[in-house]
Structure 1
Amino acid sequence: MSKQLLIYERVVPLSSEAHRDVSVKMSDSFDFARDLNSVPLLAAEFASAVPDHPIVFAGQGDAIFPAIILGLEQDANLCVDAEGGWTGGYIPAFLRRYPFVFSQEAGNFTLCIDEGFAGLNRDGRGERLFDVDGNRTSFLQNMLTFVSQYQAQFERTRLFCQRLASLDLLEPAQARFSTPAGRSGTLSGFMTINRDRLKAIPEASLHEMFATDELELCFIHLHSLQNINRLGNRVPAAEAVATAAE
């Protein structure tokens, strides 16, 4: 897996002064995610993502975080088609919150927007961010609520990963894949939970992880790994699109 690439180009804080007359025309296109072969996944999303995606862990130290694999090669997302449509089933919240995001400074969070987003305009197309009096519109308030909920779940997920690390449950992993056309390869650069170590954790930790649903998250992750071969099955269609484009 490649290092997580940023999808934001020009992130700026939202303000009624700078964005009073700005509107956002949301789109069904996921072109902005075309070059991502993985994206972060919140713990609250595991159950929704498991029918469609392999769930792994990436990063190091305090930066370990769950991720879903979207492609088998660097800079290749098999879940976005030639028109920018999403074909991968569940869409992670990391992508659904775009072009909005929180920035953090000295413990304070500020709602920001990517001014590189193609739907940003001053022509009145889509949803206004502020009304004529400079107050948040219902659209912007809904986005603020969504991003706030994302941030809260981010912290919960970070604590889950800290527990996995403290119990030494994660290990580097590789996965072999094959395509219907006969091509095979190996995917690496991620971590998975060691099942034997999970079954051997202290009883006190076991009870606590059961009570917090973290034990369920562990087994959802392990079950999801079979989806790597499902990604392999997407490759022929993706290659056909590339050939047609050439």
Structure 2
Amino acid sequence: MKTQFVPLNELTHQHLKINNKVDYRFFEQIHMLPLLVPEFMSAATSFPIIFTKNAETGEFLSVAVTSLRPQANQLLNQGVWRSRYLPLQVQLYPLGMTKISDDRLIVGIDLNNTSVSETGDNPLFTADGHKSEFLNHKLKLVSLQADYQEQTRHFIKALLQADLLQARVLTVTSSQGVKTNIDGIYTVDEQKLSQLSDEAMLALAKRGFYAPIYAHLCSLNLFDLVMDKT
């Protein structure tokens, strides 16, 4: 499904509305979605949470895995999500946020999405051009997303400074006994975590990082949810 994201504008898009039922087919071919650290606890029972490394920039990212195959999503069925938790990126859609600088965000809307029209359920703007209650709720999610991105950067930086991220090849066995190797992922090294100095452990604890660490580790048991069912 091809998208057409454009910056949201109160003049150009004054009459646009978004249906209560959103068409999520855009995500059908996305096997990893950005997941931010404050989401880990809510997401840990829905899908595996891992870390990946951008080959070009070397930047580490935390992601939710939706499939073991690229261009697939085992948690989406005919445009409807089957997972208990929806990542913030999905909650915002068909709106989306791009951070231009530390103090500037751009909110866009996917005009190609079938849930966007002038006859939908939720107007984005009032008749006099002000933001609607629906849009204000979405903008609160945008603000949360921006804050969460910053928290995630600090979290990953702390893991790297403590040398806790390890490259791994996971072998996952399906219910039919088929084994699949997954490489190119990083997880927290439990052995190194347990061997941290008291000072290092206290530093992580004071910053509230142990909860998302263990949420991530527990979620690694969920790879069977994102395996091909055939």
TM-score normalised per structure 2: 0.89
Alignment of 1:99-110 (within 5 A): 99-107=94-102, 108-110=104-106
Tell which deviates more after alignment, 70-79 or 200-209.
200-209
Change (3 A) 1:188 1:104: same
Tell which deviates more after alignment, 85-94 or 136-145.
85-94
Report the counterpart of residue 107 of structure 2 in structure 1. Answer: 111
Tell which deviates more after alignment, 148-157 or 96-105.
96-105
Q: Secondary structure at the match of 2:14?
A: coil
Report the counterpart of residue 30 of structure 1 in structure 2. Answer: 24
Q: 1:173 is matched by which residue type in structure 2?
A: R
Report the counterpart of residue 82 of structure 2 in structure 1. Answer: 87
Alignment of 1:186-225 (within 5 A): 186-225=181-220
Report the counterpart of residue 60 of structure 2 in structure 1. Answer: 64
Q: Secondary structure at the match of 1:34?
A: helix
Report the counterpart of residue 15 of structure 1 in structure 2. Answer: 9
Q: Secondary structure at the match of 1:133?
A: coil
Alignment of 1:45-60 (within 5 A): 45-60=39-54
- Matches of 1:104 and 1:68, distance apart in 2: 21
Change (3 A) 1:196 1:93: same
Report the counterpart of residue 4 of structure 1 in structure 2. Answer: none
Question: In the alignment, is residue 150 of structure 1 matched against residue 161 of structure 2?
Answer: no
Report the counterpart of residue 35 of structure 2 in structure 1. Answer: 41
- Matches of 2:208 and 2:148, distance apart in 1: 14
- Matches of 1:59 and 1:189, distance apart in 2: 8
Whether contact under 8 Å (1:8, 1:114) holds in the other structure is no
Q: Secondary structure at the match of 1:105?
A: strand
- Matches of 1:229 and 1:11, distance apart in 2: 33
Whether contact under 8 Å (1:71, 1:78) holds in the other structure is yes
- Matches of 2:198 and 2:170, distance apart in 1: 31
Change (3 A) 1:202 1:32: same
Alignment of 1:217-236 (within 5 A): 217-232=212-227, 235-236=228-229
Q: How many aligned positions are there?
A: 227
- Matches of 2:117 and 2:79, distance apart in 1: 20
- Matches of 1:88 and 1:130, distance apart in 2: 31
Q: Secondary structure at the match of 1:89?
A: coil
Q: Secondary structure at the match of 2:212?
A: helix
Match of 2:127 among 117, 128, 132: 132
- Matches of 1:126 and 1:132, distance apart in 2: 15
- Matches of 2:10 and 2:182, distance apart in 1: 46
Match of 2:91 among 72, 92, 96: 96
Measured against aligned partners, the alpha-carbon deviations of 1:44-97 in whole angstroms (never above 9, x if no partner) come to: 11111112321111124663121121111111111112x322223222222111
Q: 1:114 is matched by which residue type in structure 2?
A: D
How far the C-alpha of 1:104 sits from its partner, in A, is 2.6
Report the counterpart of residue 244 of structure 1 in structure 2. Answer: none
Q: 1:160 is matched by which residue type in structure 2?
A: F
Change (3 A) 1:66 1:73: same
RMSD: 2.0
Q: 2:21 is matched by which residue type in structure 1?
A: S
TM-score normalised per structure 1: 0.84
Match of 1:181 among 176, 179, 194: 176
How far the C-alpha of 1:204 sits from its partner, in A, is 2.6
